[in-house]
Amino acid sequence: SQKIEQNSEALNIQEGKTATLTCNYTNYSPAYLQWYRQDPGRGPVFLLLIRENEKEKRKERLKVTFDTTLKQSLFHITASQPADSATYLCALDMDSNYQLIWGAGTKLIIKP
């Protein structure tokens, strides 16, 4: 069965440094991958989408890479700020295009 792994342990980063989060998957070849941010008590909010034929995508301080050989996506936040503290979720598509497979998320804590 499809499986997505994100670091279950919280990631503590000093303000101003680059935070890197990992999303690994097995037994699947997704057409695209999405990253979301979730704050406590709130629903996920879409950040970036990267397609299988794209190696890298950027949006302001955010960068996502997608390595279909390694079956891995990396999510980077440069010049991190305490306001970036949240849980970050990755999600992969399924063939039907109506169902996403979600990782459990990684909690990111940016310390001042």
Partner 1 sequence: NAGVTQTPKFQVLKTGQSMTLQCAQDMNHNSMYWYRQDPGMGLRLIYYSASEGTTDKGEVPNGYNVSRLNKREFSLRLESAAPSQTSVYFCASSEDPTVNTEAFFGQGTRLTVV
12, 17, 31, 79: which one contacts partner 1 (CB under 8 A)?
A: 31
Rounded CA separation 77/63 (Å): 7
Token digits for 66?
Answer: 């997608």
Total residues contacting partner 1 by CB under 8 A comes to 25
Q: Is 74 in the site for partner 1 (CB under 8 A)?
A: no
Q: Which residue has 């936040």 as its token pair? A: 77
What separation, in Å, do the N-terminal and C-terminal C-alpha atoms of the chain show?
Answer: 41
Among 43, 53, 69, 112, which residue sits at the site for partner 1 (rule: CB under 8 A)? 43
Residue indicated by tokens 């849980």: 87
State the minimum distance, in angstroms, from the CB of residue 43 to partner 1.
3
What residues make contact with partner 1 under the rule CB under 8 A? 4, 8, 31-32, 34, 41-46, 49, 51, 89, 91, 93, 97-105
